Structure 1
Amino acid sequence: MGKAEPPARRRLFRVQRSAGDGSAQIRTGPFSCKRVFASLPHMERGVAKVLGGDPKGNNFLYTNGKSVIIRNIENPAIADVYTEHPHQVIVAKYAPSGFYIASGDVSGKIRIWDTTQKEHLLKYEYQPFGGKIKDISWTEDSKRIAVVGEGREKFGAVFLWDTGSSVGEIVGHSKIINTVDIKQTRPYRLVTGSDDNCTTFLEGPPFKFKCTMSDHSRFVNCVRFSPDGNRYASAGADGQIFLYDGKSGDKLGTLGGEKAHDGGIYAVSWSADSTQLISASGDKTVKLWDVGSGTAVTTFNLGSDVLDQQLGCLWQKNHLLSVSLSGFINYLDKNNPDRPLRTIKGHTKSIQCLTVHNADGRLNIYSGSHDGHINILHGENDEILGKGHSNLVSKMMVDDADRLVTCSMDDTVRYTDLSKREYSSNEGLSVQLVLLKDKKKLFTLDSLGYEPEAAAVHPGGGTVAVGGADGKVRLYSVQGNTLKDDGKVLDVQGPVTDMSYSKDGAFLAVTDEKKVVTVFTVADGYTEKNEFYGHHAKVVCLSWSPDNEHFATGGMDMMVYVWTVSNPDKRIKIPDTHRLHHVSGLAWLDANTLVTTSHDACVKQWTLKI
């Protein structure tokens, strides 16, 4: 299906894979990763989020879990994900050259990696101290790096990027250091801000402590030099922004007088011409400041909910970005401060399930996450409004009335009218097997004598198959408003993890904990057609292709297999589908396009040559 790749391009794909470490998104073989719908930044209340900017102005950076996400600032749907850290990554920053990114994790590891190749080859790795790295800054020649955070013996270090040799000592603080910046013009200066309410000023290189400033009355969350190096700003949990001379460290004044914001300030970012800066605050606003007069030119109001607190910001070319506690990324509009130009939505927590629905010829992808959030993908991310599930969304599908039916660990099933995109009614679930129709609970089966793990309804509506933790599948007949046990039991190799009928109802596929997929032929009284082997760990999800001849399975081994019903040996293997976590959900957009989800909070779209 589809045209073959030209030989030259096939060769390029082979070179890409052999040169890299497996992290390339385009690989050889009958599949390619067409698109990544990236996760949002991981956010914590009261903790600043650092956004990194590409010196060329094209991309911006943030972190979520063990991933560093690179997004195109003009078109954030274009994204790349770096997944080589073994621990949670906190911060990532471009080198001023644009050729490398330095990223730091909770263990104190710094990885410096290439940005020009898709494989993002590792250049150097260092451990400047043992503990969480909270901020990173490069010198303008891309040769020295300062890192700060929650070290045990020390809270910061400055070193040469290519040898790791120290080029000074960051001292002067009694508590963890939250933020660091280096002046991008010579003579170099370095400034830090800490939980001890102080900032320190260092001259160098090699960097030596010069003085401490104790102007803030609470934690210092962010320090940033202006691009021309003439000034630097410090922002704190006390809602104040102080300005200092970039060369001497002398205090010049404040922004906004006594207080710049009504809440704590988590981030500041300067304009390219050094005359203005933006500040992000827990008071749910971002302010645009004229530095010369010390006054706010514009106040951007981002909402009234706790999740609208602003914990990070970035000024890049003409784009003013801020990050809400919800993880949403806001593109601020100077002409309309009460409404962002656009808001990038998505998931911040692990995705558990997904489904695909064709609405008037337009394919929408619905995904549900660990925190009960449901997202809609249709080119850009969107969300369902209102009060939704309060816990993990475990399964979802769209019914004949175009309602999204979602089942959650909060013991409810919800029916959501997709035309309104607003949460509607829910049914409580406290029993084991329930027959629902038209939002009504028709029938319940209690005291089953086994633990049901998965269920599937035949497309004809007359049969329900229920898979148990005992490795058996039981068949029930739908008779009016009741379920009747047919007394028929199908055996599989282990505890059932997922099951589904083919679209035409001809086959039932069952996955289990013993790494096996079993397919039964419905018309032959559910005789076993084939068993499919290949996964190295428990198989957790499956989805049938619209052609009814192929189905995909995802496992704890991070692999996806695309199987051919009539020939178990004919298969497509997609290794490292999501490099850090198992595949949690699968759905087909069409017979050649597969969508996968995982605990990395990303959605990936794959093109297959079947």
Structure 2
Amino acid sequence: MSHELKHVFASLPQMERGVAKVIGGDPKGNNFLYTNGKCVVIRNIDNPAIADIYTEHAHTVTVAKYAPSGFYIASGDASGKIRIWDTTQKEHILKYEYTPLSGKVKDIAWTEDSKRMAVVGDGREKFGAVFLWDTGSSVGDLSGHSKLINSVDVKQTRPYRIATASDDTCGSFYQGPPFKFQFTLRDHSQFVNCVRYSPDGNRFVTAGADGQMFLYDGKDGTLVSALGGEKAHKGGIYAVSWSPDSSQLISASGDKTVKLWDVGAGTAVTTFNLGTDVTDQQLGCLWQNNHLLTISLSGYINYLDKSNPDRPIRTIKGHTKSIQCLTVHKKDGRPYIYSGSHDGHINYWDAETGENDCFSGKGHTNQVSKMVTDQAHELVTCSMDDTLRYTNLSKTEYSASDVVKMDFQPKSVSVASGGLSLAVCIGQVVLLKDKKKVFTLDNLDYEAEVGAIHPGGTIAAVGGADGGIRLYSIQGHTLKDEGQTVKTGGAVTDMAYSNDGAYLAVIDDKKVATAFTVADSYSVKNEFYGHHAKPVTLAWSPDNEHFATGGMDMNVYIWTVADPDKRIKLSDTHRLHHVSGLAWVDEHTLVTTSHDATIKQWTVAY
């Protein structure tokens, strides 16, 4: 009995309006990296479905950059901590750890020999530091700013120079090592968001919230010109990235455009329009080999096309916020994974390639709590926006009409043959047939937590916070209480019938999973122990002999119904985050998801 990780479908970068996002590039040109929550996400630039995730920070990670050697990555977090770790091994062994600042790290830059690094951000006594990577001893002083420093870069040729950009509307120029403050660059009228040296070291450019960009001499820091004259962009500029040959650069702006500049001429050669919505503001960019990448406020990663500036070559979608639930459905024989997140966003993924997209149209406006697919090939979702939605999976767009408004917030939804759905809401249980409410149970004498309809469509089981499972028979359009209650040890957190209807599996907050035999009037078949924190999600394998449970202890267990001692433990499935959803692609492939906005597929062998 074994398991191994098969695929990782990574989260998108976590974005904040008006805050620049740094994307790091691999010096060998294969990967790019960014941060989301406590994770650093490394993705292959040619095939972004190939991803690796670093999860060793205890606080929100704000920036990550490759060393020029390509062997190490330095990542900085909201507490001012820098971790330098290995990129060549799967374990990403920590090499060094420092705390150069007392506040959020905003940017990191290495010298070309990978020996020194400059770190800037927020702090109490200072807003920047330069030190040797292996000892942490200081090699200069990044003084001269009165507010937090947003950006830093180091000239990649000798003699070394450092330039910084700050919220105090100024840039600063330093010579070294040891690095000493030389003078202030006072050309911007608002926050300076980004500073970047050209790869050959001859020039550096600053970009600001005033929509202006200034070009300076790389060696002595004198002003050369303003790119684009008075205004480079209509909105604030958040990021710039140079071409590998130092002759051009791209700039990403809040005016929802990215511009490609000919530096010698000082003019924009191409303007890429990325949309009209507020989520199309551009907050980050990276020029790597022939790839031009930008990040929208929505978190979407765009690959720009120089020959067609109005349409990216590809847009990588996914989740930026924590995923709450997922399910799997086969379409034309191919398995697809559907995932719903905290912000109401639903995404679907090809389980084999990782290609993904989201539904078009207007969907849920709040957290998607639970999702299932029915026999009519519809995705049935319940959300904290007090609605149930039925979405046709062959159309992949939300239907405005197939929305059922609930009286109370739904927590759980399940379906059965014959067009039946059961929604368990706060203080109410609702039976629906063909997308219409046909029966409501009100004034319950217990707190209903989760419901499940028997695949045959004859019984509805409702689990309560009191540890009781009430069985209602479905007669026509009504739920009839037969007075039958099955007891478990604690408050029910999730439950489901096996696909053949033979068993009902239940998990409770006393960390126990129980399988009941349906035909034998719900007698206990077996009890399963292993979780050391509350299990919250459960999914049956298509073989009906195994089911998986995931919990707050970050572990997933796969249980064998007939033998409680035969189990597979997947520990630390999503480090630092509890497992929020489980689904099976087939009897040997389990999908897990979590609040790290990542989906993982595991191959299981019995």
Fold shared by both chains (TM-score > 0.5): yes
Q: Residue 494 of structure 2 is aligned with which of 498, 518, 539?
A: 498
Classify the secondary structure of the residue corresponding to 1:307.
helix
Structure 2 match to 1:40: 12
Structure 1 match to 2:342: 370
Structure 2 match to 1:387: 362
* Counterpart Cα distance in 2 of 1:267 and 1:119: 31
Q: Give the CA deviation at 1:423.
A: 1.0
Q: Residue 63 of structure 2 is aligned with which of 91, 99, 116?
A: 91
Q: CA RMSD in A?
A: 0.6
Structure 2 match to 1:5: none
Deviation string 1:15-72 (CA, Å, 9 cap, x unpaired) is xxxxxxxxxxxxxx70000110000000000000000000000000100000000000
Deviation string 1:294-317 (CA, Å, 9 cap, x unpaired) is 111111110000000000000000
Q: Give the CA deviation at 1:426.
A: 1.1
Matches within 5 A, 1:14-29: none
Deviation string 1:338-357 (CA, Å, 9 cap, x unpaired) is 11000000000000000000
Q: Residue 183 of structure 2 is aligned with which of 211, 215, 230?
A: 211
Q: Residue 316 of structure 2 is aligned with which of 344, 347, 361?
A: 344
> Is 1:537 matched with 2:523?
no
Classify the secondary structure of the residue corresponding to 1:347.
coil
Matches within 5 A, 1:396-545: 396-424=371-399, 425-431=402-408, 432-545=428-541
Q: Residue 235 of structure 1 is aligned with which of 192, 195, 207?
A: 207
* Counterpart Cα distance in 2 of 1:555 and 1:243: 53
> Is 1:156 matched with 2:152?
no
Q: Residue 560 of structure 1 is aligned with which of 553, 556, 563?
A: 556
Q: Give the CA deviation at 1:98.
A: 0.1
Structure 2 match to 1:593: 589
The amino acid of 1:571's aligned partner reads R
Structure 2 match to 1:550: 546
Q: Residue 265 of structure 1 is aligned with which of 237, 243, 250?
A: 237
Runs of 4+ with deviation above 6 angstroms: none
Structure 2 match to 1:3: none
Classify the secondary structure of the residue corresponding to 2:531.
coil
Q: Give the CA deviation at 1:381.
A: 1.7
Structure 1 match to 2:412: none
Matches within 5 A, 1:53-132: 53-132=25-104
Q: Give the CA deviation at 1:420.
A: 1.3
* Counterpart Cα distance in 1 of 2:9 and 2:433: 34
Deviation string 1:575-600 (CA, Å, 9 cap, x unpaired) is 00101111000000001000000000
* Counterpart Cα distance in 2 of 1:556 and 1:567: 24
Unaligned runs of 5+ in 2: 409-427
* Counterpart Cα distance in 1 of 2:150 and 2:555: 39
Q: Residue 21 of structure 2 is aligned with which of 7, 27, 49?
A: 49
> Is 1:293 matched with 2:265?
yes
* Counterpart Cα distance in 1 of 2:488 and 2:577: 26
Classify the secondary structure of the residue corresponding to 2:279.
helix
Deviates more, 1:52-61 or 1:476-485: 476-485
* Counterpart Cα distance in 1 of 2:568 and 2:57: 28
Classify the secondary structure of the residue corresponding to 2:134.
coil
Deviation string 1:95-140 (CA, Å, 9 cap, x unpaired) is 0000000000000000000000000000000000210000000000
Deviation string 1:207-262 (CA, Å, 9 cap, x unpaired) is 00001011001000000000000000000000001000000000000111110100
Classify the secondary structure of the residue corresponding to 1:196.
coil
* Counterpart Cα distance in 2 of 1:52 and 1:152: 27
Q: Give the CA deviation at 1:360.
A: 1.2
* Counterpart Cα distance in 2 of 1:488 and 1:234: 72
The amino acid of 1:508's aligned partner reads L
Deviation string 1:495-537 (CA, Å, 9 cap, x unpaired) is 0000000000000000110100011000111111111000000
Structure 2 match to 1:606: 602
* Counterpart Cα distance in 1 of 2:18 and 2:474: 53
* Counterpart Cα distance in 2 of 1:137 and 1:272: 17
Structure 1 match to 2:246: 274
* Counterpart Cα distance in 2 of 1:563 and 1:125: 40
Classify the secondary structure of the residue corresponding to 1:260.
coil
Deviation string 1:537-566 (CA, Å, 9 cap, x unpaired) is 001000000000000000100000000000
Structure 2 match to 1:180: 152
> Is 1:358 matched with 2:327?
no
Unaligned runs of 5+ in 1: 1-28
* Counterpart Cα distance in 1 of 2:159 and 2:481: 82
* Counterpart Cα distance in 2 of 1:369 and 1:485: 34
Q: Give the CA deviation at 1:481.
A: 0.9
> Is 1:310 matched with 2:287?
no
* Counterpart Cα distance in 1 of 2:362 and 2:433: 23
The amino acid of 2:214's aligned partner reads F
* Counterpart Cα distance in 2 of 1:256 and 1:439: 57
Deviation string 1:159-218 (CA, Å, 9 cap, x unpaired) is 000000000000111100000000000000000000000000000000000010110010
* Counterpart Cα distance in 2 of 1:437 and 1:214: 68
Structure 1 match to 2:417: none
Deviation string 1:313-340 (CA, Å, 9 cap, x unpaired) is 0000000000000000000000111110
Matches within 5 A, 1:130-145: 130-145=102-117
* Counterpart Cα distance in 1 of 2:5 and 2:181: 49
* Counterpart Cα distance in 1 of 2:218 and 2:98: 29
Q: Give the CA deviation at 1:439.
A: 1.2
The amino acid of 1:403's aligned partner reads E
Deviates more, 1:436-445 or 1:422-431: 422-431
Q: Give the CA deviation at 1:436.
A: 1.1
Q: Give the CA deviation at 1:410.
A: 1.0
* Counterpart Cα distance in 1 of 2:318 and 2:468: 37
* Counterpart Cα distance in 2 of 1:203 and 1:436: 72
Deviates more, 1:372-381 or 1:113-122: 372-381
* Counterpart Cα distance in 2 of 1:71 and 1:437: 44
Structure 2 match to 1:576: 572
Structure 1 match to 2:418: none
Structure 2 match to 1:256: 228
